[in-house]
Structure 1
Amino acid sequence: MDSVSYILSNNESRKALIIDPGTESDTRLTEYLDDNRLDLKFIFLTHEHFDHILGVNFLRERFPDVLVVSSPETSDRLANPKKNLAIFHNQMNLVVETADILINEGRINMIDLEFEIFSTPGHTDSSLSLKINDSFFSGDFLLQGSRIVTNLPTGSKKNYQESIEKYNIMLQGITIYPGHGETYTFGINKR
C-alpha cells in the first residue's frame, strides 16, 4: 500500500502510538519499536479504509495490551470488509475487531501526552485528525498535490469543503503528516 504509518513516542516514558498501520504484517514497525525500546500503547485510526487498518490485527497479536482509538463510525465498520473497502481490493476479507476507545472530537491523553482530536469529514463521514503542538496527522483529509477522494461510500465533497473552511485558519503554518505522500506545511492555497 502507498499509505503512510506514523510512530509517535514519548522519550521520557518510552510509550508509543502508531497512527494508521496500513501494511499487513509490517515488521518494520515492530523492529523500530524493539530497536528503540518503545512500549506500544495505542493505535490511532483516522478512518476505516483497509489501507489504513491492514496492520491492526498483526499489532494486536504482537502487543495484546494495545488500545485502538477511533471514531464510533470507524469502529463499527472495521469488521465489515465491504464497509472498510477491503472486499474491493483483491476481494480481501479483512476483519478487524472494534476499537477500544471511541472519540469524535476533543482532547485525549495518550502516551502521557495531550493530543487534540478533530472531526474532519469529507473523505469519509468518520474521518478524524490528530494534532499535537504544530503537527497535524490528517489521514486522507489533507494530501499535498492530490485531489481528495470524496466519492467513496460515506464521503462528501460538501462535508470536505466545510471541514476545510472550519479548520483553515488553525492549520496555517502547521506541519501536515498525511495518510499518503510527503509531509508539508499547510499554507494559503495548499489543500
Structure 2
Amino acid sequence: MNNIIAIPAFKDNYIWAIHSLEGNKIIVVDPGDASPVLDYLQANKLSLHAILITHHHFDHSGGIKALQAQFPNIAVYGSKNEFTEGVTSTIEEGSQLYFPEFNLTLNVLDIPGHTKGHIAYYNEEILFCGDTLFSCGCGKIFEGTPSQMLQSLEKLKQLSAETMMYCGHEYTKANIAFAQTVDPTNAALAQRLAEVLKCEAQGRPTLPTKLKNEFACNPFLRVNTQEIILAVQKHWNFEAIDPVTLFSHLREWKNQF
C-alpha cells in the first residue's frame, strides 16, 4: 500500500499526499491551499505527479492554480458533474484512474449531496471521500438533497469494512460529541473517543480510520438501527420511520447542535 500523509491546511483541512513507490513523487487530494503542498514538496525533495479533487469548494480546490503555475502540465482530475476551476480531466462514476509509478488504481463514485457533483476515489484498501463522510459524521447538505446524501452514504456502506477512510477535515472529536448525544450507550463510540483523545495528546490526526469503525460509530451510517430511529423520533417528537425523513432530521439536529 502507498504511504499516505496528511498535510494540514487552514484550520482543520487535510490535504492527502499519496507517495509513489519510489518515494520521489506524490499525488495530492483536495489541495485547498498550495503553500503547505509546496513546502512539503521542497522539504522532502518531491515532485507533484497529479491532483485529485473531490468537489469544487475553495478549501478543497483553491490551491490548484498556484500548483499549476509550478507544474504546468500537471493532470488535475475532478467531477464531470460540477465545475472546478483548474480541472484538466473530468471523471464520473465508473471512471478508473491508473498511476503506474504508484502501482495505484482508483475507481470513482458519484456521491452528491454536499455538492451536486461530489465524487469519491477508492479501491479495495483506501477511500478519499472529501466532505461527504467524516469520522462519526457527514457533510452538510449544501447543493443536493437529503435523499441524495443518504444514497451517497449507502454507496459508501457497500465498500469493504477494512477500507481506510481519508476525509477532508479533522472534525472527529466534535462529531463524537454529537454522536454520543444521539447514541449515548454505544460502547464503540466511547472507544473511538478514547482513541481520538490519545491522538490529540500526541498531536496526531484522528484519520484515516477503517470503515468498520464508522459502521459501528457513525450515526449517519446507522439511521436504520433501532437506537438511532428512536433517538431521532424522541428528539423531534414524531413517529416517522421513513429513512430519508429520519436522515434529514438527524442532519438538522446536527446542524443545530
Fold shared by both chains (TM-score > 0.5): yes
**Mind listing any 5+ residue stretches in structure 1 that lack a counterpart?**
79-95
CA contact 2:132–2:138 (8 Å) conserved in 1:
no
Match of 1:63 among 67, 71, 75: 71
Give the distance between the partners of 2:19 and 2:100, measured in 1 at CA: 7
Decide which structure has greater helix share.
2
Counterpart code for 1:47: H
Are positions 1:35 and 2:43 aligned together?
yes
Query: 2:156: which partner in 1?
Result: 167
TM-score, normalization by structure 1:
0.78
Aligned counterparts, 1:21-170, within 5 A: 21-23=31-33, 25-26=34-35, 28-74=36-82, 76=83, 78=84, 96-97=85-86, 99-105=87-93, 106-110=95-99, 112=101, 113-150=104-141, 152=142, 154-170=143-159
Matched residue SS, 1:159 = helix
Q: Using CA pairs below 8 Å that are at least 6 residues apart, which structure has the higher relative contact order?
A: 1
Assess, with a 3 A threshold, how the Cα gap between structure 1 residues 43 and 171 changes in structure 2: closer, same or farther.
Answer: same
Are positions 1:185 and 2:174 aligned together?
no
CA deviations on 1:123-166 (whole Å, 9 max, x unpaired) are 1121111124411111011111334201x2x2221111112223
CA contact 1:47–1:127 (8 Å) conserved in 2:
yes
Matched residue SS, 1:22 = coil
Shift of 1:64: 1.2
CA deviations on 1:86-116 (whole Å, 9 max, x unpaired) are xxxxxxxxxx33x111110231113632111
Shift of 1:178: 0.6
Structure with the greater alpha carbon radius of gyration: 2
Query: 2:29: which partner in 1?
Result: 19
Assess, with a 3 A threshold, how the Cα gap between structure 1 residues 111 and 59 changes in structure 2: closer, same or farther.
Answer: farther
Assess, with a 3 A threshold, how the Cα gap between structure 1 residues 134 and 142 changes in structure 2: closer, same or farther.
Answer: same
CA contact 2:125–2:163 (8 Å) conserved in 1:
yes
- Equivalenced residue count is 167
TM-score, normalization by structure 2:
0.59
Give the distance between the partners of 1:161 and 1:171, measured in 2 at CA: 18
Query: 1:87: which partner in 2?
Result: none
**Mind listing any 5+ residue stretches in structure 2 that lack a counterpart?**
1-9, 171-205, 222-257
Among all aligned residue pairs of Structure 1 and Structure 2, give the percentage whose two residues are the same amino acid. Answer: 25
Query: 1:7: which partner in 2?
Result: 17
Give the distance between the partners of 1:146 and 1:164, measured in 2 at CA: 11
Give the distance between the partners of 1:171 and 1:158, measured in 2 at CA: 23
Query: 2:230: which partner in 1?
Result: none
Q: RMSD of the TM alignment (CA)?
A: 1.9
